[in-house]
Amino acid sequence: MESIPGWQLIFLGGIATWIVFSSILNVTQKLRSLTQPLVSRYVMSGTSIVLKIQKYEHSYLDALFSGLSCVVSVPFYTAFLPLLFWSGHCKLARQMTLLISFCDYMGNCIKDVVSAPRPSSPPVRRVTATKDEEDNAMEYGLPSSHTLNTVCLSGYMLHYILSYTGSEDVSTELMGFALVCLVVGLIGVGRIYLGMHSLIDIIGGLALGLGILTLWLCVDTCIDDFIVSGQNVASFWAMLSFLLLFAYPTPELPTPSYEYHTAFNGVALGI
């Protein structure tokens, strides 16, 4: 039988300990009581910004921003991630899948801890062109998952392309960085235009995304080496996936967030 490395026992034991003590101490409720009123005030005060942006309402803009939102949605991941494996870029595919899973878990955890509302509709016009968007509208607002995922995925994709090609051309790097900023900016503005998020949600998603991306760029090689040739990988990840289900916070009201992260948790285990 394969032995279990000490760091794995410490890591899993730490999560199990957190589950027990956070439940006993009602950590979720205490954090919510501190953060929810503040964020809710920002959402209410930011309604005027949403309405100003929505003054430029047009069917073409509705189609543009709805289409862009689909680029960081579950149906897109379902089609995009297998293509990465089939194209032979298995390391990128593994990293993108795990990164999406991590972003989804962290973003939804914060959403359900804070349980802050989305912009009130009416007066805000909420555009839900797809069934996926209708489901998203049932979640809480802070942070914007679309902004968070776009920052992490486009940023990591740029990092991988530059590393894979070995490009050291400053102009190429600047063009890539500008393109990433443009995509992130369009997604952020689009989420406000569609009435799905307020400015504080976008800022929260941007800040969290930059933090996760920075962390991931520091550990991605170690994670991939562990998955490909590490010790006790399958059983460790199975226990980790199981514990993360119980570590997830309980929202103020039921939302689809738990189902989303559970699905991606299973996908990550499949890797």
155-210 pLDDT, tens digit per residue, is 998 988 888 777 677 888 888 889 999 999 999 998 898 888 899 999 999 999 99
Catalytic residue flag (residue 197): yes
Residue 29, token pair as written in the block: 């409720």
Q: What's residue 2's pLDDT?
A: 58
Residue 8, token pair as written in the block: 């794995």
Catalytic residue flag (residue 261): no
**Active-site residue identified among 58, 89, 146, 159:** 146
- Nearest by Cα to 250 from 105, 103, 115, 100: 115
- Residue pair 27/250 in contact (Cβ under 8 Å)? The answer is no
Residue 188, token pair as written in the block: 């952020």
- Nearest by Cα to 49 from 142, 181, 188, 184: 188
- Residue pair 241/221 in contact (Cβ under 8 Å)? The answer is no
Measured from the Cβ of residue 38, the count of other Cβ atoms closer than 10 Å reads 12
Q: What's residue 3's pLDDT?
A: 66
- Rounded CA Rg of the chain: 20
pTM: 0.87
Compute the half-sphere exposure of residue 214: CA atoms within 13 Å on the CB side of its CA: 6
**Active-site residue identified among 58, 89, 197, 261:** 197
- Residue pair 101/268 in contact (Cβ under 8 Å)? The answer is yes
Those residues of the chain that have pLDDT short of 70 are 1-3, 129-130, 132-133, 167
Q: What's residue 138's pLDDT?
A: 81
Q: State the Cα–Cα distance between residues 109 and 39, nearest whole angstrom.
A: 15
Collapsed DSSP state (helix, strand, coil) of residue 118: coil
Residue 99, token pair as written in the block: 């990164």
Q: What's residue 1's pLDDT?
A: 46
Q: What's residue 255's pLDDT?
A: 84
